[in-house]
Amino acid sequence: MSRPQRIVLLRHGESEGNTDDTVYEREPDHALRMTRKGHQQAVEAGERLRELFGEEHISAYVSPYRRTLQTFRELRLDPGRVRIREEPRLREQDWGNWQERGDVRLQKAYRDAYGHFFYRFAQGESGADVYDRVGSFLESLHRSFEQPDHPPNVLLVTHGLTMRLFCMRWFHWSVAEFECLSNPGNGEFRVLRLGADGRYRLDRPFERWTTPESYDLDDRAD
């Protein structure tokens, strides 16, 4: 098995949906484009990634959404050193079809109150659904490590929630821990580095917006 030295998780650059929530009434989520600022964020991320990867080869997996594909192109990685695959399991949490602005805001408020992991959008997915498909992707990723010529770098170009759920699945974080974490900013990335002890560690933590609520496994109803 040839495990990579680095697994890099990159969030797409700023998109139309990040700046105008009425766009979901007119455009499918998967078709939203990056803004001018988003393109610049991706270019700057590419500069940092090219320095990180150096002359090494990369196995890249990209969400099939327009904004993630645009982000990958703006990274300007050497095509001779990158093996790229479009990976639908890394897509954004599905909201389901077009959405009215008022309904989007209402469902987000419900999700904040109910919990991001368990709340299911009316026509879409819950965070738990995304967790399950990320787990399926991880099984495929681990099988790819069995290739003797597997590149020393893996790059995932994806979405903020998916990044957090990937790390939750990889590091076996609890639901309570996941719920307290914030998405990284647009164009930001996190690196899982392989240590001398054979374990991966996150280069820097996700920011927290609250303290995790803990549950006792022995809790009993009164």
**DSSP labels for 1-51?**
----SEEEEEEPPPBHHHH-GGGGGTS-GGGPPBPHHHHHHHHHHHHHHHH
Catalytic residue among 12, 39, 116, 159: 12
Residue with tokens 């996150």: 202
pLDDT recorded at residue 3? 92
Q: What is the pLDDT of residue 215?
A: 53
Q: How confident is the model at residue 101, as a pLDDT?
A: 84
For residue 47, give its domain range. Answer: 6-202
The answer to whether position 20 is within a domain reads: yes
Does residue 207 belong to any structural domain of this protein? no
1 part of a folded domain: no
pLDDT at 222: 41
210-218 long-range contacts, CB within 8 A, separation 24+: 210/179, 210/180, 211/180, 212/174, 212/176, 212/177, 212/179, 212/180, 213/176, 213/179, 213/180, 214/176, 215/176
Residue 12 annotated as catalytic: yes
- Strands 58-62 and 82-86, by their bridges, are parallel
Tens-digit pLDDT string for the chain (222 aa)? 589 999 999 999 999 999 998 998 999 999 999 999 999 999 999 999 999 999 999 999 999 999 999 999 999 999 999 999 999 999 999 988 888 888 888 888 998 889 999 999 888 999 999 999 999 999 999 999 999 899 999 999 999 999 999 999 999 999 999 999 999 999 999 999 999 999 999 999 999 987 766 655 555 444
How many distinct structural domains can be found in the chain?
A: 1
CA 82, 88, 94, 97 dihedral sign is: positive
Q: What is the pLDDT of residue 220?
A: 47
Q: Is there a domain that residue 217 lies in?
A: no
Catalytic-residue membership of 188: no
| 3 state SS of 195 | coil
* pLDDT number for residue 87: 98
CATH of the domain at 18: 3.40.50.1240
In a domain, 215, yes or no: no
pLDDT of res. 98: 82
Domain membership flag for residue 126: yes
Q: Is residue 218 part of a domain?
A: no
| Residue 28: per-residue pLDDT | 93
Whether residue 144 is contained in a domain is answered as: yes
Per annotation, catalytic residue among 14, 74, 87, 92 = 92
